[in-house]
Structures are given as structure tokens and as C-alpha cells.
Structure 1
């Protein structure tokens, strides 16, 4: 018998029929003898509607009241799933974040989980009940509901798995695992059997949408083995039933510690992001304090800066400096830099929102050389110019013109031998 936390996202619980399918997935694990807690998101589209209502009511709404409204979607789903499970003969009850409680910080709309008190859930397990937990929410120390930010149900599930000492956290979604790249862009993308926490964290932060970045970081810190699998598989399929009973041969992709993977690939996957924008400051003085004058105001404005490159342009006195921000924050970032122009002293500001970031990721890079060289050659052979280059121990990222995104991803996928034998 294992202890499992199962998480189902918005598309998985989109309507009553989908909720019944989710209940059958849960029943399969209960029938296999496992202790089960379930974390659910709001039904697809519900949170967007709730957010829109808040904005319609007041553009300057109280963040605490905003959380009270937008957390309602998960409350509805958790209650409906508990009803569906009870109808199938599976003892279950719903739990809201404040009832457990899941204690969070006071940053409403983007709270962080600080502690989960598990006594009530342990009692539910002892009684043979399934705990259906509303994701995305908790209880701030001002005794108000606090939400974790968009995609927060993944974080709720991993945090709950860590607190309960679960054997595994299964993230059910509308894809059947993690692929070497987006199969919609590269038909020969392959599904990965296993991927390390570090690789998944890089893939999530560089544009892959399978898992929320915060949840992967939490899984890595607490060593929560996380299985990405499809909620659209037939819950009663004989192979799935057998896998549940033996806890072997499970479908999907396991996110786990590096030690669980016998032989590491040189490159695990190619990620891309079109949510990028570039700002170049021409002829900035090359002297101490200039970087602080640029990036200090950006940090104070809450703007995240990703890639940075600096090149000497004239002699030793002047330099051109380029950095990237999210596309949505380009106008805000430009305004912040322009407001600080007297302290910075640049000659010209050039903004470009028509760029994309391509990343090659793999823990095998630690022990192999030439990974970046192969990337640069593959892109150069196709006439793709590189605007910015950024590296880490297991990642190389480049910024290119957005029009070449698909060509670049396919070229790199082939160059690193990631193409599968058949279409995905």
C-alpha cells in the first residue's frame, strides 16, 4: 500500500462528466489499497471568470477580497468530486485550505505555503476516507483566505505530498507526460520516461508548460517523486488497473532525483518561450555603479530581468548593454529605464518585442563538452542569428528572432539526436 497525492487541473475537471472520470481514477487507486488525497483546480475557465468579475467590480479591489472570490472555483470542484466519489461508494469529504489548515504568508494573490497541519487528514486516512482538497488556497495569519497565484494547485499538491510523506505525487493533466520538446511543434518529439528535478525546473522556467515552476522547485527541495500523466486515459483500462495494484509500469513521466536515472542523456529536451522582449542601451559608460543604476529601478518596479549581455563598443570607456524581460512587461521596463536615464546616461534605447528564447537542457552537460558549440553550429547552418547567449551548468539559452522559433527548435531537436522513430 502506498500513500498518494493526486492532482487534477482545470481541463481534467472541466464539467460534471469529466469530474466523474476523475472520480474513477481516484477509485482505481483506492481499490488498489492506497491511501489517497486529491488536490483539484477550478473547472476550466472558472478562475478567469472570477478574476474578470473582480476587475469589473473595481480596478483597485482589495486583494483580500479578490482571494475570497477567486478561491471559490476550487471550493466548488472539491465538493463536486467528493459527491461523485460518494456516489461510487468511495468514502470522501472535501477540505478547503483554511479547514486543514494550509498556512500561508500574507501576500494575497501570490502567497507562499509556510506550513501544512496534517492531523485532520491523517484522521481521514485512518477512517478510510479520501481527502479532496481545494488547491490554490490557504489561510494567511490574518485569518483570511490567501491564494498562491495562477497555477498554484500544482504547488498545493506537491506541498501536501511533502507534508504527508506521500510516496508519490501524481499530476494529472491533458498531456500524457513530458516530451523532449513541444510535440505540436516537432512531431518527432519523444515522451521521456524519467526526468530529473533540475531538468524539469529548467524546462518549466524556460517555457515548457507541463508543470508550474514553483511546484517543481518544491518537489526538488523535499524530494517528492512526481508523476506527470494524462487524466484522459480510460480509468478502467486493465493495464492501468494492474499498474495501480503493483505500483510498477505506470504511464507518464516521472520527475525524480538524478540517482534514479541509470544513464543520463547529453541533452534531455529543447524548450522555447515566445514571451520575451529585448532592451538594448547603446553607449553606456563602462564604470562601476551603472549596472546598479539600470537594474535597481527595474527590481524596485517588480520587473524580472532574465538574460544580460554587455559588449564594449568604443575603446574601453563605453559599452552596449542588452537585457531581456517578459513581453508583457516591455513597456513598463522601458518607462522605468527612461525615468532613470539621467543616472544611467545612455545614448539610445532600442526595444524589440519580436524575439524568442530557445534553450537546450540536460544534466549530461556537466560531464560533456561541446554542447554549446553544436547548438551554435546548428543554428548558424540555418542562418539564424543569435542576439543574446546565457548559460548555466545544465542549460544553454539563446535569444533569436521570433520568426525562426519553429525552425530553431526542430534543428536542435535533430542535432542532439532527440528525434523519435515515429510521430508523437
Structure 2
């Protein structure tokens, strides 16, 4: 697989287009205007703050915590009670007025407030180190034999008070190099929690994924061929970011300079964005997908359209084609939460099992955790996908609604 990243302005947003083998796989957009005008009030997943408990809702076991004046975030009461407190206002596990270290788990979405966790974690290239101790974990993308060996090594050498999950690229290091990386991350987390004790409420202890970090989140450095932007100031930011995180790929960074034919036109990026926001996606067979996000879930309907109806073998073939495109669209549009896919009904149990197995294989390649549950009695395939950033349609259209 070969990857390329294109970075430019589309629809008044700074957008990162991740291409894999010449086809757009992901689009990440960030609102540069909001970040420049109110950097202290821009909430990103991964941001770490000292927050203050504003109110408790006992009947739903929830607390709302301010991370800066006027911005309340949701946190479960159980989660908050197990937090790292910098100031207590009462003797109960959680009291209004308590100050504690929190991390943004999910960004705000539509009417939902940002969601917080007290399990503070730092994500590095090779591992995720978290405040709460847990069984060591290893990425499932690492081959089974290597994964088991790394898990055994973690358990044997586990003397840390923190939780550790090894990421896919940890397999590239020797055990000694990996040990040094883990020690570095654990020290950073310990220092951050110690520093929190002497900081005032609403202090942002660490910024989460800024545009560059989030835009490169799913890039595999060993397959990256090129990073291209036509924005000089963004070029300097990307250069600085790559120098700090992965200097080996600096040679792949290029500033495109042709004002007569901008990057957006060269790669038809506006058209790519329009397709990624369109409800209908055409399939080669003549059928289509209708993708409709709602407040509670996302529905994907498979239509045969111009595709010729036929026997079960034909229906299965059309469903497998639709499954491949649906998996791609879920990642491209960053759809998350509950996703229901209404495939063409299959009468044979074996065909349904083939469809489920194929969908699981396709979603296994998604860097974001995605789980194919089953096909319901109403012939709807149930899928869940972890949510971190807002879906593409929301990230792009939020500014349009604001401007109106």
C-alpha cells in the first residue's frame, strides 16, 4: 500500500486528504478560524485540563465538569470518583466544586456536550500509556506470534503503575528500544500528573491532537510517499511537526507552487469533498448506497437500481460489492456510533454468513475500532464504530450553519 497526504483549504476548512493507492481513504477537516480567534476555547479530543465539578445529576449517575468558564462537559459519576483530584470541596466521592484532572474523550457533537474521562492517557507512536492500571495490551494488527511474544514480555517486565497498550509500529523496535520509549512516556505522564497539583483550575495541561497530529493519525510512515500542500504557512507547520515526530519522512514533504492551477484543481479535491458529503454513492453494478445520518444512528440502504435482479448468487454478488463500498464510505466520512446497513435480503444462511465475514474482514482494515455485530431478524446489519472526532458532514457543515 502506498499513501499520500494532500493538505489545503476546501470549503473554508484546512483539510487533510489521505490517499491510499491513489484513492481517497480519509478526509480530516479542522476549523482554523475558530482556533486562531479562540485558541483557549477550542476543545479537541485528547486535551487535558484541570476541571471543576459544576453539577451532579444523581438519577443518571452523571456529573458535568467545566474545563473553562461556560464550557461544561459530561463525565460519568463513577469515572469522576476515580479521578486525580487537585482540590476537594467535600467528603463525598464527588462534590460540586471539586477540581480534578480530566481528558477530553469525545468532542462536542450536535447537541451533545464533549465527553470526559479521568483515565488520563498519552498516545505515542509506539504505545498508549494510561493513568489507570490494566492488563497490558498489544495491537491486534501485529501478527499473532509477535503479538503473543510482546504481550508475554510486557507481563514479565511490568513494574509500572500505569496501563500500557502497544501500537502496531511497536513491532519495528527491539525490546530495548521499546523499553526506553515506554519509560519516556511513563515519565511524561507522571510529570504531568505531578505538575497538575500546583496548577490552578481551568489550566490546560496538555493539548490533544491539533490539526497536524489528527491529520496524520492514520498515516503509516513506512508506506508514506508524499505530503503535499500549497499553503506556505501550513508547509512550515508540517515541516516542524515532521521534524519532531518522524524526521525520516521530511524528504517527502513538498510545497506545491502553481497559482494558475492550485492543488484543489489538480486533484479535484472539491469534487472529492462533494462526493464524500453526497447521500448517494453509485456502484459499478448500477446499484447505489443511500447514506443518511440521523441524531441516533446512521442508516445505509443498498439499492439495486439499474442492477439486474436475479438469483441468490447475483444478490450475494451485489451485496459483497455494496459491503466493500460501505466499509470505504464509513471510514471516508468518519461515521461512528450505531450504523445499520439494509442489504438486499438473502434467503440462504450460508450467504448471510459470507456477507458478515466479508464485512468483518473489510472493517478490520479501518484504523478506528469497528465491530460488525450481526444481521438482525429484520435483515439489517448492525455495526458500531468508535467516535473520537465529529463525522465529516458535521465538521464541514458546522461552519456553514454558524455563518448563516
TM range (shorter): under 0.3
